[in-house]
Amino acid sequence: MTYCDHFARVDPIDTDSVAVVGVVDSSVASRRKALWLMGAAGFACLAADSTGSNSPLSARPGTVARTRPVVHRPRPKPTPKPTPTPRPAPWTPTRLTALKPKEPIRDLKELVPPPPEQTIALTIDDGPHPEWTPKVLDLLAEHQVRATFFIIGAQVKEFPQLTQRIAAAGHQICNHTMTHPLSFDDLSKKELRKEIGEAHDRIAQVSGVVPVFFRAPGGAWSPAVVDVVAEHGMLPIDWAVDPRDWARPGVGSIRKTLTASESGNILLVHDGGGDRSQTVKALKGAIPKLKKRGLSFVAL
C-alpha cells in the first residue's frame, strides 16, 4: 500500500467524506481533485504514486508522467586578474669589479658590469643613528628606493638592531671604518688595517653581510688606503654629487644639488654625525623629482 493509498482509504460509513474526497473513484481526475483538497502532501503523493507500476497513469497507454525539467545554469566565469606590468630586473650582480682597481670609484659607469641606463646610486654615511636612520629608512621604504649605507663600526656596536634593520630592508651595507678618524689618509698601514679590519668584522658579525665596498672618511684616499681595502676584497667607493648636507646648508640647497644628478652619478648624504633633519626633508623632495626625470635608484 502506497502512502497515497493510505489517504485514499476512508471509512465506508462516512459517505459524506467519500463523496467529498472522491478517493473511491479510481479516475485520475477524481484523485487529483481529492489531492488538491488535501493540500501539499497530496501533490507529493500524486507525483510519487503516478510513477509506480500500479498507477492509473502508467496503466493508460501513451500517457507520460510529467516531471519538472532540470535547469543547468551556467556557472559564472571568474573575473581574470589583471596581468601586472613587468618591471626591469634589478641590478644585482654577484660580484662587481672596477675598470681602474687602484682608483676610488666616483661613477657607476666605472663598475663592471655597469648598471642599466638612467640609474643613480644613493649612498648614506656615518650611521646607524637612533634618530635619523629610522626616518631615512621609512622614507626610502615609502618611495621604494634601495640605497647603500656606509656605516661606522662603533655605531654598529652601539646600535646592532638598527644595523640589522638596514640589512633586512634590502639595502647594501658597507664599511666606513671603525671610528671615522679624520685625516684618514695620513694613517699608517697598521692603523689602517685596524680601522678597516675591525669594522669589517663587526659589521659582518652583526648584520650577517660581509662588506664588499669601502668609503674613506671625508674622501681621504691614499695608495695605502686603497691597498688595505683591496686586502679585504673590497672596492673603494667615492661620490660624484655632494650636497654637503653635513654642514647643514639648508633644505633647499641640499635638494637642489641632489635633483641636478645625472645618470651614473653616486650621490652622498648622511644619516649620522649630527642633526640630519635637513637631509631627511631634502630627500623627501628630491627622490620624487629624480624619479619623475626617469632616473632609477640602485644599490651597489
- Which parts of the chain are beta strand (E)? 97-98, 111-112, 119-127, 148-151, 172-175, 213-214, 235-236, 266-270, 296-297
| Boundaries of every domain in the chain | 3-59, 97-297
Q: What is the pLDDT of residue 13?
A: 42
Which 3 state secondary structure label does DSSP give 97?
A: strand
Q: Are 100 and 109 in contact (CB under 8 A)?
A: no
pTM beyond 0.75: the answer is no
Q: What is the pLDDT of residue 66?
A: 56
Phi, psi angles (nearest 5°) of residue 171: -85, 160
What is the number of other CB atoms lying within 10 angstroms of the CB of residue 209? 16
Burial readout 260-281 (b: 16 or more C-beta within 10 A, e: otherwise): ebebbbbbbbbbbbeebebbbb
Q: Are 259 and 269 in contact (CB under 8 A)?
A: no
Q: Are 118 and 296 in contact (CB under 8 A)?
A: yes
CA distance 160 to 218: 24
Correct CATH for 97-297 of 3.10.129.10, 3.20.20.370, 3.30.70.330, 2.60.40.2240: 3.20.20.370
Name the amino acid, one letter, at 3. Y
CA distance 201 to 25: 106
Q: What is the pLDDT of residue 114?
A: 87
Q: What is the pLDDT of residue 62?
A: 52
Per the rule left: phi > 0, alpha: psi between -120 and 50, beta: everything else, 208 is left
Regions of the chain with pLDDT less than 70: 1-94
CA distance 132 to 23: 95
Q: Mind telling me the catalytic residues?
A: 125, 270
CA distance 155 to 163: 9
Element (H, E) at 281: helix 277-292
